[in-house]
Amino acid sequence: QGVWYSVPRSVLEVHFGRGVLAVAGRSPDFARIFDLAERVIAAEHHERQVPHAEGVRELLRMAAKAHGIGTAADIADYYRMPMREARPVIQDLVEAGELTPVRVEGWREVAYLHRDAARPKRIEAMTLLAPFDPLIWYRPRTERLFGFEYRFEIFVPQHKRRWGVYVLPLLMGDKLVARVDLKADRAAGRLVLVSAHLEANADRRGVERALVDELRTLAGWLDLVPSSSRIRFVEPNRSGKRTSK
């Protein structure tokens, strides 16, 4: 079924998940290079034994603090923990005074506010987000917070893709305002903008300026140059098909 589902890969993933192997580096094409964990991780950390219950509690504590506020499912998913294991520990953190159950307008489920959570006076974030960024990894939370529907379509057949192969959302302030599908054309030395989609009610000119800057920055990291300094947004027309503007 291909390299993504091969037996050798599955065996490596199992040993990696159990801590027998660790990632020692990356190949030029960014593939992981594995080695025995004891040869990668310092002995003081590798040999330390942490009771399972203590580890679960600490991971959920870290997840709750990272979120600031989130549902039980949000907190559990941060470290891919099953709800049946996470829920009673979250309740323990409530009883310990670390979390407070609260209601958030528009959310159907109870949320948990971390005691150290603070609301900034303003958010001046400006960045393209990778598909694996914690801000957008758990799709239900992304849709709940931003009203932003996002799917990672790299494994979706081309004719079924809605947005593109490797789509990066653009964060401006506290909103997700656009998404771009990019391609690194190494032979030509260019970062190609395959498509750009603007979210409803976003400031077109402001987003366009931000995208030009972010694409220039990203191209520099990749030792490439942007293929264009103009953003052409793809938008739905009355027929439901998408056209460029």
- How is residue 13 written in tokens? 């993933």
Residues 224 and 167 reside in one and the same domain: yes
* pLDDT on residue 78: 97
* Residue 158 and residue 206 in one domain: yes
Q: What are the CB-based long-range contacts (under 8 Å, 24+) for 49-54?
A: none
Provide the pLDDT for residue 168: 96
Q: What is the DSSP code (8-state) at residue 156?
A: S
133 and 89 both lie in a single domain: no
Q: What is the pLDDT along the chain (245 residues), one digit of tens a residue?
A: 455 668 888 999 999 999 999 999 999 888 899 999 999 999 999 999 999 999 999 999 999 999 999 999 999 999 999 999 999 999 999 999 999 999 999 999 999 999 999 888 888 899 999 999 999 999 999 999 999 999 989 888 989 999 998 899 999 999 999 999 999 999 999 999 999 999 998 999 999 999 999 999 999 999 999 988 788 898 653 334 444 44
- Both 234 and 201 in one domain: the answer is yes
Whether 119 is in a domain gets the answer no
pTM as predicted: 0.81
Question: What is the distance between the terminal CA atoms of the chain, rounded to a whole angstrom?
Answer: 40
What's the pLDDT score for residue 188? 95
CA distance 216 to 99: 41
Residues 33 and 61 in one domain: no
Residue 121 resides in a domain? no
Q: Is 86 exposed, middle or buried (0-12, 13-18, 19+ CB in 10 A)?
A: buried
Q: What is residue 123's predicted lDDT score, i.e. its pLDDT? A: 87
Task: Scan for tokens 């923990």, then name that residue.
Answer: 81
Here the CATH number for the domain that contains residue 96 is 1.10.10.10
Domain boundary among 114, 136, 157: 114
Counting the structural domains of the chain, the total is 3
Same domain as 89, residue 110: yes
Per-state percent for the chain, helix, strand, coil, to nearest 5: 35, 25, 40
- Domain residues for 64? 52-114
